[in-house]
């Protein structure tokens, strides 16, 4: 007669070292993905800044009216800006006019340095290292966070499914072993032997 005895409560505990190793692997993959995205954003930003710098020029503009509040709110965290009408020359000896960003309370007749494109239209200055670093870092962190959360969720879902299969297999084995282990099979077989 075979004697099967369950170990402990019959359920093999999950292997914690293996689970930790899997989560560490997910974290490493997330960090690598974040670093790759940050590097790609840095490279793309540097290329765009170089191209913009080639087609951007600094010229001197003179305001033809006082500063006014801008029609659209400025970006959060940026310096307060106002707008004012101004004139400048770009290309050389070609007079241009338009609205430019100026410091608040700039009076009429103030000379300011602005950036313009090849056609002489006002443009934003080429990006600085700080802006590029912020964009790269925030993009890399977002990518790492997304990969980390997704990977961790997948690990937990797979673990839960595996534990469910293991528990179902244990219960099937227990249905076969329990009558022998508890003695029910011996009591039932003894009653049958007396009738012979």
From first to last of its 196 residues, the chain has per-residue pLDDT tens of: 444 444 444 444 445 667 788 888 888 999 999 999 999 999 998 888 888 888 888 899 999 999 988 765 555 445 657 899 999 988 777 899 999 989 888 999 999 999 998 888 888 887 778 888 898 999 999 999 999 899 888 888 888 887 766 777 777 777 777 666 766 665 555 444 444 4
Alpha carbon distances (Å) from 126 to 3, 40, 108, 123: 80, 18, 27, 9
List the structure tokens of 88. Answer: 């400048």
The pTM score is 0.53
Residue 85: which residues within 8 A CB-CB, separation 6 or more?
63, 64, 65, 97, 98, 99
Label residues 160-183 b or e (16+ Cβ within 10 Å = b).
eeeeeeeeeebeeeeeebeeeeee
Radius of gyration for the alpha carbons in the chain, expressed in angstroms and rounded? 36
């Amino acid at each position: 007669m075979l004697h099967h005895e369950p170990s402990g409560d019959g359920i093999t505990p999950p292997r914690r070292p293996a689970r930790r190793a899997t989560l560490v692997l997910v974290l490493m993959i997330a960090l690598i993905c974040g670093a790759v995205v940050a590097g790609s954003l840095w490279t793309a930003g540097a290329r765009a800044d170089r191209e913009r710098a080639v087609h951007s020029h600094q010229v001197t503009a003179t305001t033809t009216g006082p500063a006014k509040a801008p029609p659209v709110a400025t970006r959060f965290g940026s310096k307060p800006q106002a707008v004012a009408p101004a004139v400048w020359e770009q290309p050389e000896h070609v007079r241009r006019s338009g609205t430019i960003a100026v410091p608040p309370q700039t009076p009429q007749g103030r000379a300011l340095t602005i950036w313009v494109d090849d056609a002489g239209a006002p443009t934003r200055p080429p990006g600085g290292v700080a802006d590029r670093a912020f964009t790269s870092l925030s993009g890399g962190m977002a990518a790492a966070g997304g990969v980390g959360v997704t990977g961790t969720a997948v690990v937990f879902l797979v673990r839960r499914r595996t534990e469910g299969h293991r528990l179902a297999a244990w219960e099937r084995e227990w249905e076969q072993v329990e009558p022998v282990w508890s003695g029910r099979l011996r009591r039932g077989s003894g009653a049958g032997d007396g009738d012979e």
